[in-house]
């Protein structure tokens, strides 16, 4: 009889504990436990997943894709400057075209060197068919079309200089937009450091172009 009473008492205690535990879980205790576990494992922060930082000595798809795109952007900048240099140009535009030819050519070469070091294939601007449209000449954000480039090449000197400034500004703004969208994905430290300098250069050229346009009354 005594054994029976003890057994009933134990079952009652177990039932009570189960009810309390169920209520605690329903009221959020389970979430607290889950949050505590995730926090200790550094998998979330303020409800958002955290991606562990990449090894800064490694490269991946983001770096390869970024380098390929930057080669095209910089080669198109030198192409614009080359067109502008054919014919009479103002002192302001001549100084700018010289800077573009020197700086952007080296920048394209720097991104190409990374890809060569990594045994990655890439396309130069000259590898694309010189026509607008699908699978034709690259027209990423800011890039002038073949039609715009050909039209610029036939313009009188004063109009060509004005168009050069307009298209180069458009190109720089496109590059900065691309950097803003994908630059943060670059984790390879050497490229990331270079990207910061490259971005500052594009911002400086945007300012320089707008200053020239303002002086010429083209804004």
What tens digit of pLDDT does each residue of 34-85 get? 332 233 333 344 444 444 446 788 899 999 999 999 999 999 999 999 999 8
Domain 61-215 fold is Ferritin (1.20.1260)
With vertex at residue 54, the alpha carbon angle to CA 48 and CA 59, rounded to the nearest 5 degrees, is 135
The stretch 208-212 carries a mean pLDDT of: 91
The stretch 192-205 carries a mean pLDDT of: 94
Is pLDDT of 91 > 90?
no
The stretch 80-97 carries a mean pLDDT of: 81
CB–CB of 73/178 below 8 Å?
yes
Considering the entire predicted model, what is its pTM?
0.73
CB–CB of 154/201 below 8 Å?
no
pLDDT tens readout for residues 59-71: 999 999 999 999 9
Which sequence spans correspond to the domains of the chain?
A: 2-49, 61-215
What's the whole-number average pLDDT of the chain? 79
The stretch 182-196 carries a mean pLDDT of: 95
pLDDT on residue 10: 46
179: nearest Cα among 53, 74, 59? 74
pLDDT on residue 54: 64
Residues 6+ apart with CB under 8 A from 102: none
pLDDT on residue 133: 84
Residues 6+ apart with CB under 8 A from 7: none
pLDDT on residue 45: 41
CB–CB of 174/142 below 8 Å?
yes
pLDDT tens readout for residues 12-34: 444 444 444 444 333 344 332 23
């Amino acid at each position: 009889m005594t054994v029976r009473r003890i057994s009933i008492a134990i079952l009652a205690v177990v039932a009570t504990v189960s009810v309390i535990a169920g209520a605690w879980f329903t009221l959020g205790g389970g979430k607290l436990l889950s949050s505590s576990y995730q926090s200790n494992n550094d998998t979330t922060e303020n409800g958002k997943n955290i991606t562990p930082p990449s090894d800064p000595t490694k490269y991946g798809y983001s770096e390869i894709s970024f380098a390929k795109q930057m080669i095209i952007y910089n080669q198109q900048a030198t192409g614009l400057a080359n067109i502008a240099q054919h014919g009479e140009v103002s002192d302001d535009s001549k100084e700018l075209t010289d800077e573009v030819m020197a700086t952007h050519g080296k920048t394209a070469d720097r991104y190409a060197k990374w890809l060569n070091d990594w045994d990655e294939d890439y396309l130069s601007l000259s590898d694309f068919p010189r026509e607008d449209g699908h699978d034709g000449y690259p027209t990423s954000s800011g890039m002038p079309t073949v039609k715009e480039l050909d039209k610029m090449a036939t313009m009188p000197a004063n109009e060509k200089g004005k168009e050069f400034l307009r298209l180069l500004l458009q190109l720089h703004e496109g590059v900065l937009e691309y950097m803003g969208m994908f630059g943060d994905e670059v984790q390879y430290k050497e490229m990331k450091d270079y990207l910061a300098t490259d971005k500052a250069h594009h911002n400086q050229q945007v300012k320089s172009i707008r200053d020239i346009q303002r002086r010429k009354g083209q804004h």
